[in-house]
Structure 1
Amino acid sequence: MATVYAPQHLRAVVDMGSNGIRFSISSLQAPTARIMPTLYQHREAISLYDAQYSPTGQRQPIDNATISAVCTAFQQFKRTCLDFSMPETGVKVLATEATRTAINSDDFRARIKQAVGWDVTMLAKEEEGRVGAMGVASSLPDVSGLVMDLGGGSTQLSWLINTRQPADVQMPEQGAVSMPYGAAAMSPRVAEAERNGTTAELKKEVLHAVTDAYAGLKVPSSLQDLAKAEGGFTLYLSGGGFRGWGYVLMSRHAVQPYPIPVINGFCCSRAQFLDTASVKDAAVASLEDDGDGIFRVSDRRAGQVPAVAFLVNTLAEALPEIKEVRFCQGGVREGHLFTQLPADIKSQHPLVVATETFDTSNTSGAITKLLLSSLPNRDSTQHTSDHYAETFTQDLLEAFANLLYHHATHSKDLQSSSALRSTTSGILASVHGVLHENRVLLALLLCQRWGGDVPPTDQQFKTAMEQLVDSPWTLWWINYLGAVAALVAAVYPAGTTARNTGRLALSAIWDENGKGEPELRLKVVFAKDAQSSSFAEDVHGVEKVGKKKRWVGGRDGVGYKVQVESADHE
């Protein structure tokens, strides 16, 4: 059944950026407020930055034709808002660098007001950075590191801590430091510097600005200590310029075709991020390609890659050690919406929020406990490279439990495949705030819950998803948990209820076999009325995961022997 969103919970946001104008309608209705579901979105490719420069590069007012096009787009969006029964008080128009610095900004905003009756809120430089940082906080479950937002006309630098604790999101008092180094603004400057041989001077200017900006942020010692312990900061990037860079990196990923199309949550190493020569070559090739080029990288974005590459190289020198880079979809729109949420809502895990609406029988809590109880405590017996306890968190398993029965209505031919696609093109594709790693893990868990057998049309996709998993040990645990979930679902075909609570109990420990090899022992206890013999095949399915021929990589691969002790409750 489709969710009905009440009009009083709808929020319309217009984000007037330098390279385009984004119109959207989202819902902050419980229980899905944390993921801010988008009901409507549209982008008008009107560059307010380009409109302010003549063909010779001279600064000029925004021309009448551009203003008229903007007003027409606003009028269309106002009609859309009426179609959604949007209250007028729920509409917010936010303008950034291009509008803020326009020669005729007052007249431009007055024309919009005359056309639709809406006031335009101009974000100050620091406030733009603050709202952008909140957009990053909305994009991921947890954030701790440095944040950069690369727009068309400016770049913002900040730091952010959002660990989903009771405290709200932490960032600098001034929000962010804004610098006039946007992707569109830098493109002609970089090109000119290369022609005139003044690249070194331009780099010195940007290097000095970024270094001063970082010093002015006064990064807290707790964040600096975390960076030292983990080998460097995590750098969170948002804005169209950086997202274009991220899509190029995805197109060059070791796993091809890269199976997750959304940029939000994509992660790369410092070395991959700084491989500017390869990224520039790929962007140039896409411009020369008569085909489709790079997915989600327009010719405009590809043309800006040299300027972004210049900025990336400068960042490598100006900022302290960066360990990894995480790309975020959240920007002004998401940041504005996220600031309206109370702290307890902000602290929710997006994956749990997105899946709990599918737990129609309200049984996932008991099932999550069963799944957790099938995982033994960490022990010296296990392989030292196996980090299952950190990977299969309660949040991930709760999301798994929420969707345990969702594909039961599908034909057996479709269950595994539909479950496999659920996080990329299925029921969770649109969810905001999910890491690529969690999309992969949940998809593979759900696929294995239904047996893991997919048709040839989906085999390449499944292989690509498996290649994104960080360790073969994790793949083995996915197979194990999938088999355990199938057993749980067989015992509780309608989920747990007041009538059947206690029908199944699980407990797991580490042991060693006669050869001194680690062995997982799972005890399965059925209630008296459960008729354990009815579930012998499901119990055997768990045990089969431990057979060496079923290990990841075969008999000489990765896995543990599994001994299942099945008993009836006395």
Structure 2
Amino acid sequence: MTSLRELKPECLYAVVDMGSNGIRFSISNLEAPTTRIMPTVFQDRAGISLYDAQFTTADGRRGPISASVIDDVISRLLRFKTTCEDFEVSAENIYVLATEATRTAPNSKEFIDTIKERTGWDVRMLSKSDEGRIGALGVASSFASVQGLVMDLGGGSTQLTWMVAKDGNVTTSPQGSISFPYGAAALTRRLQDTRNKGAGAERELIAEMKENFRNAYKDLQVPGSLEHAATAQGGFDLYLSGGGFRGWGYLLMSQSRLDPYPIPIINGFEAVPADFQDTSSIMQTASTSEEKKIFRVSKRRASQVPAVALLVHVLTECLPTIRSVQFCQGGVREGFLFDMLEPNIRKQDPILIATIPYATSSAGAIYELLQSSVPETPSPIHSRHVPESFSPSLLRAISNLVFVHASVPRETRPAAGLYSTTTGILASANSLAHRDRAIIALVLSERWPGDLAPAEESFQRRLRQFVSSEEAWWSQYLGRVASLIGDVYPAGRVPARRPRIQFSTKWEQIFKKKQGTTDCLCLQVQFHEQTEQTITKEALLNTTNLIENCGKMKNWIKGDDRLGNYGVSTEVRLHS
């Protein structure tokens, strides 16, 4: 990624998102070639709830935002203005956006006029429809493609729409996003009020919510093609953004069978509907958050869990069948910036854009080598094959990263690769699925020979348990093949006219005492005549042995009791 001293001020965009639960400040770099992933070079947050600021009286009635809160907001805006000056952000590239809480405040005009007077900044007030549209674009920015239902749960409101985002084009409901006054903070307050009135009032609230969501789904005019796709795949994908849902997602992470959950990033986290809808379990977890700190779940977020649980309960009954729940980081800030991008930029694959800065000039040739090291057809006996998750995009991303840790001290290279997608070079890259992060980390930890420390071995085990046993084994195999490529091309440069080696693969049937007749993956390494004079087969023996070792049964990846261990017998054959 671009370092701070190399930033071009004209490519920097500052956004203030004045939400209901807090105010977010960010500066993003839209310089090529990483424009698509909108790298953040600065971010901050002020825990000022503009929604709660309007409910401070004893009778609980809504009132104006107080002068002291306005002073606090302006103080933080002026502080951010100084930050923008430090980064040399152009005045025309600074945007202050206001949403539900500001839009509906009794003294909204006075509030934004005071901001203009004391900071010189105009506040762009987003209408309900604009807020929903930009929030939906924030979801689109978070994934390579989107097809399903989209919800954004803010503090004051929640929005629902459908979306198809593909090849840079984003299509949503003709009605835009339908907004409801059921934000996490707003619904928390209303739920408290209804419970004070008795069970009947709570039943009326639930009935109201169900009717509104059922009518909204009809009004969204979900296209037949989207409904047919959902029927074929067993349900809709549901994409969730907004602080209320992110808190719910982090609670789900804390309940994972992998303890602790290995990828502490909300964007790309996926949950199955049964876990997402298990409101009683999640509420129980939230109730213990004061005794046991839960990552990214503040006291305020924990206090809103009963309201979010109610919302999830209603959605479960009102929305059509859901097959997967996808959480994303993208919100108003990301959607606002994504709206600026040209379709040819939007359609770029985020995983490739995130890794381009680390590619050598021969990344394409390295990709061809990696691709030719995996078989194109399943094995004849046990139908062993490369998992579908190892897509061309993922292999190209791995090819871009094969040499990224070459300058790291030798003994820490495997660890640097292992942590590259969570706390390392790709930690700040949004739009990556957790499965892709895990696979890349596992491949890069095998790319460099060496041992991992016990704590790092534990992390590696959790990543292997996170993916399937098949994905874990092929990650190990590809990492060791990448190591062989590094032995032959230490600078990561593959001569166009005189490549030193070529790969090919084939399946053979072999007999082993414990397995009987089984499949063997033969990786054939063809040396070019001039290569053999400078790189002997003996020089590659250690690495080829490592590749073959991952095919021995004792090194297979442990699977569950039903599937057993997974691995493929492997041989490497060197040819002149």
Same fold (TM over 0.5): yes
The partner residue of 1:9 within 8, 11, 27 is 11
Matched, 1:298 2:298: yes
- 1:141 aligns with 144
Partners of 1:34 and 1:346 within 8 A in 2: yes
Q: How many Å apart are 1:452 and its aligned residue?
A: 6.4
The partner residue of 2:567 within 523, 545, 559 is 559
> 1:206-240 deviations in whole A, cap 9, x for unaligned?
11111111111111222212211111111111000
Q: How many Å apart are 1:337 and its aligned residue?
A: 0.6
Q: How many Å apart are 1:387 and its aligned residue?
A: 6.0
Alignment of 1:509-548 (within 5 A): 509-514=506-511, 515-531=516-532, 532-533=536-537, 534-548=539-553
Counterparts of 1:63 and 1:84 in 2: how far apart (Å)?
32
Q: Secondary structure at the match of 2:507?
A: strand
Counterparts of 1:208 and 1:382 in 2: how far apart (Å)?
55
- 1:378 aligns with 377
Alignment of 1:28-107 (within 5 A): 28-53=30-55, 54-107=57-110
> 1:255-312 deviations in whole A, cap 9, x for unaligned?
001111111111110000011001101111113x2x5x21111111000000000000
Q: How many Å apart are 1:354 and its aligned residue?
A: 1.3
Q: How many Å apart are 1:516 and its aligned residue?
A: 4.2
Q: Secondary structure at the match of 2:406?
A: helix
Counterparts of 1:387 and 1:67 in 2: how far apart (Å)?
61
Counterparts of 1:379 and 1:329 in 2: how far apart (Å)?
37
What residue identity is the alignment partner of 2:177?
A: A
Partners of 1:378 and 1:389 within 8 A in 2: no
Which is further off, 245-254 or 345-354? 345-354
- Amino-acid identity (%): 47
Q: Would the alpha carbon gap of residues 313 and 499 (structure 1) be closer, same or farther in structure 2, given more than 3 Å must change?
A: closer
- 1:194 aligns with 195
Q: How many Å apart are 1:451 and its aligned residue?
A: 3.2
Which is further off, 503-512 or 228-237? 503-512
- 1:418 aligns with 416
Partners of 1:139 and 1:329 within 8 A in 2: yes
Partners of 1:382 and 1:510 within 8 A in 2: no
Counterparts of 1:118 and 1:294 in 2: how far apart (Å)?
37
Matched, 1:477 2:474: yes
Q: How many Å apart are 1:547 and its aligned residue?
A: 1.9
- 2:446 aligns with 448
Counterparts of 1:240 and 1:213 in 2: how far apart (Å)?
22
Partners of 1:267 and 1:326 within 8 A in 2: yes
Matched, 1:265 2:268: yes
> 1:414-434 deviations in whole A, cap 9, x for unaligned?
111111011111111111111
- 1:460 aligns with 458
Q: How many Å apart are 1:512 and its aligned residue?
A: 2.6
Counterparts of 2:340 and 2:392 in 1: how far apart (Å)?
27
The count of corresponding residues between Structure 1 and Structure 2 is: 559
Counterparts of 1:39 and 1:529 in 2: how far apart (Å)?
47
- 1:115 aligns with 118
Q: Would the alpha carbon gap of residues 389 and 472 (structure 1) be closer, same or farther in structure 2, given more than 3 Å must change?
A: closer
Matched, 1:281 2:278: no
What residue identity is the alignment partner of 2:220?
A: L
Counterparts of 2:396 and 2:542 in 1: how far apart (Å)?
25
- Root mean square deviation, CA, Å: 1.7
What residue identity is the alignment partner of 2:285?
A: A
For structure 1, which runs of at least 5 residues remain unmatched after alignment?
none
Q: Would the alpha carbon gap of residues 566 and 392 (structure 1) be closer, same or farther in structure 2, given more than 3 Å must change?
A: same
> 1:167-216 deviations in whole A, cap 9, x for unaligned?
51221233211111100000122223333112221111011111111111
Where has structure 1 moved over 4 Å in runs of 4 or more? Answer: none
What residue identity is the alignment partner of 1:174?
A: Q
Q: How many Å apart are 1:472 and its aligned residue?
A: 1.0
Q: How many Å apart are 1:380 and its aligned residue?
A: 5.9
The partner residue of 1:130 within 104, 128, 133 is 133
Q: How many Å apart are 1:378 and its aligned residue?
A: 2.9
Counterparts of 1:390 and 1:351 in 2: how far apart (Å)?
16
> 1:46-89 deviations in whole A, cap 9, x for unaligned?
11101111232101111111111111111111111111111110
Counterparts of 1:422 and 1:372 in 2: how far apart (Å)?
22
The partner residue of 1:242 within 242, 245, 261 is 245
Counterparts of 1:26 and 1:410 in 2: how far apart (Å)?
28
For structure 2, which runs of at least 5 residues remain unmatched after alignment?
none
Q: Secondary structure at the match of 2:388?
A: helix
What residue identity is the alignment partner of 2:394?
A: L
Q: Secondary structure at the match of 1:265?
A: coil
What residue identity is the alignment partner of 1:548?
A: M
Counterparts of 2:136 and 2:255 in 1: how far apart (Å)?
28
Q: Secondary structure at the match of 1:510?
A: strand
Q: Would the alpha carbon gap of residues 20 and 523 (structure 1) be closer, same or farther in structure 2, given more than 3 Å must change?
A: same
- 2:333 aligns with 333
Counterparts of 2:392 and 2:277 in 1: how far apart (Å)?
35
Partners of 1:451 and 1:482 within 8 A in 2: no
Q: Secondary structure at the match of 1:409?
A: coil
What residue identity is the alignment partner of 1:529?
A: Q
Q: Would the alpha carbon gap of residues 552 and 300 (structure 1) be closer, same or farther in structure 2, given more than 3 Å must change?
A: same
Q: Secondary structure at the match of 1:40?
A: strand
Counterparts of 2:112 and 2:486 in 1: how far apart (Å)?
58
Q: How many Å apart are 1:20 and its aligned residue?
A: 0.7
Partners of 2:147 and 2:163 within 8 A in 1: yes
What residue identity is the alignment partner of 1:546?
A: G
Counterparts of 2:370 and 2:466 in 1: how far apart (Å)?
23
Q: Secondary structure at the match of 2:43?
A: strand
The partner residue of 2:20 within 18, 23, 27 is 18
- 2:365 aligns with 366
- 1:213 aligns with 216
Matched, 1:252 2:255: yes
What residue identity is the alignment partner of 1:475?
A: A
What TM-score does the superposition give when structure 2 sets the normalisation length? 0.94
Q: How many Å apart are 1:356 and its aligned residue?
A: 1.1
- 1:183 aligns with 184
Q: How many Å apart are 1:542 and its aligned residue?
A: 2.0
Q: Secondary structure at the match of 1:297?
A: coil
Partners of 1:138 and 1:335 within 8 A in 2: yes
Q: Would the alpha carbon gap of residues 508 and 120 (structure 1) be closer, same or farther in structure 2, given more than 3 Å must change?
A: same
What TM-score does the superposition give when structure 1 sets the normalisation length? 0.95
Counterparts of 1:279 and 1:33 in 2: how far apart (Å)?
37
Q: Would the alpha carbon gap of residues 486 and 80 (structure 1) be closer, same or farther in structure 2, given more than 3 Å must change?
A: same
The partner residue of 1:157 within 157, 160, 163 is 160
